[in-house]
Amino acid sequence: MAEDISEKQHQATAKRLEDLRAKGQSLRSKDLTSGLVFIVTIIVLLFMTSEFKARIEDNFIQSFTGMRQIMQSREFPGAIVNKMVLANFFMLLPLFFGAVLTALLSPFIFGGWNFTLKSVQFKFDMLNPINNLQNIFSRRVISNILKSMLKVTVILGVFMLFSYDKKAEMYGLINLPAPQSIKAIYLISKEYVIIVSCSLILIIMCDVISNYFEYVKKGKMTSQELKDEHKDTEGNQDVKRRVRAAQFAIIRQRLSVTVPRATVIITNPTHYAVALRYEEGKDKAPKVLAKGKDYVAQQIRKIGISNSIPIYEAPVLARAIYNTTKINSEINQGLYMAVAIVLSYVQQLKNYQQGWAMQPEYVSDLKIPEEFVFDE
């Protein structure tokens, strides 16, 4: 059965995930941030219990021991209030910084920090009532409602079970003296907050898992989307082939003009090829008419053979000229001796073919200076 091209069955690629992040759609869990802020706040409060107790007592003492000064001076109430507010402010700073830092750092735990202006851009589609109705009854909204109901059920269930378990202790508070009653209330509240924090951890884990699978599902791609992305990243292969074909055609046309005028072609034998021209009395030194690697080298050899241009296989010399000399430029002086041997061989070979001299001896070791030796 043919694959359904419209079905999202492929996992999200790195580019797809990056595009989602650019749109402001990244792994997020609202319960993770709010739950961690609540838990951190409770932890800070538990560690600062003695400081809060001392501060409340100090506020009470300052408020009621200064009644006489309040009656005598109109400026005294403002001074004592400022002092109390300042003291309470500094006491609450650790609580404030703990909550803020938790809210800022919690995104790094799940999905990483992501800031983009696209997520706050105005969209006219949001004004469409039909789209809004579809969003109200969408699967995502229904899922969020069910998750919210589950959270409320868990928290209320914890409260009811805890209240039932502590019913006897709470009834017994009536018979205790005020100081002991306050201490007992504190211990009961502390235990309840700890239990609620543990239940929040369970809610956070469920929300994180739910959001992860929802994000993975949202990022999935159809076969057509995968093909389109490949075209965008790698480029259209048909277009690239046509461009390469046009480039090779230009190269062949240029080589068909320059290579036939060469005196000799020095090769590697196939990876590099350099076409040199030297006309005694006209050129001061051998000049590079064409050079290339791989495909271009093959074209230079092919054109050279079709035009009866001598080909001299000297790998080290071919690489040296290729890496040190530009096209239409004279070769480096350090290569004069090696190229002179090649040109002498070509001239002797021409004389031999015409019956004017003996067959020349091929020189394989051309003694290339070390500074002109290049690896492939």
> By C-alpha distance, which of 31, 44, 45 is closest to 154?
31
Taking a C-beta distance cutoff of 8 angstroms, is the pair 367, 349 a contact?
A: no
> In this structure, what are the phi and psi dihedrals at residue 182, rounded to the nearest 5 degrees?
-65, -40
pLDDT at 258 over 80: yes
Locate 113 and state its tokens.
């920090």
Domain edges within the chain? 239-372
Locate 149 and state its tokens.
């109901």
Q: How much is the pLDDT for 11?
A: 76
Superfamily the domain 239-372 falls into: secretion proteins EscU (3.40.1690.10)
Reported as a pLDDT band with limits 50, 70 and 90, residue 265 is: very high
Q: Cα separation of 141 and 119, whole Å?
A: 19
> In this structure, what are the phi and psi dihedrals at residue 278, rounded to the nearest 5 degrees?
-145, 120
For 304, residues 6+ apart whose C-beta sits below 8 A from its C-beta are 259, 262, 265, 273, 275, 311
Q: Cα separation of 347 and 350, whole Å?
A: 5
Q: Cα separation of 99 and 297, whole Å?
A: 68
Amino acid in the structure at residue 201: I
Summarize the confidence of residues 99-114 as an average pLDDT: 75
Residues 34-91 pLDDT 10s: 888 888 888 887 777 777 777 777 777 666 665 565 555 555 566 667 777 777 788 8
More confident: 164 or 22: 164
Q: Cα separation of 64 and 57, whole Å?
A: 11
Q: How much is the pLDDT for 133?
A: 60
Parallel/antiparallel/unpaired status of strands 311-313 and 264-267: parallel
Taking a C-beta distance cutoff of 8 angstroms, is the pair 111, 24 a contact?
A: no
Q: Cα separation of 351 and 126, whole Å?
A: 88
> By C-alpha distance, which of 102, 116, 106, 105 is closest to 25?
116
Determine which of 151-160, 218-227, 286-295, 353-362 has the lowest per-residue pLDDT on average: 218-227
Q: How much is the pLDDT for 275?
A: 93
DSSP secondary structure, 54-114, as one string: HHHHHHHHHHHHTHHHHHH-SSHHHHHHHHHHHHHHHHHHHHHHHHHHHHHHHHHHTT---
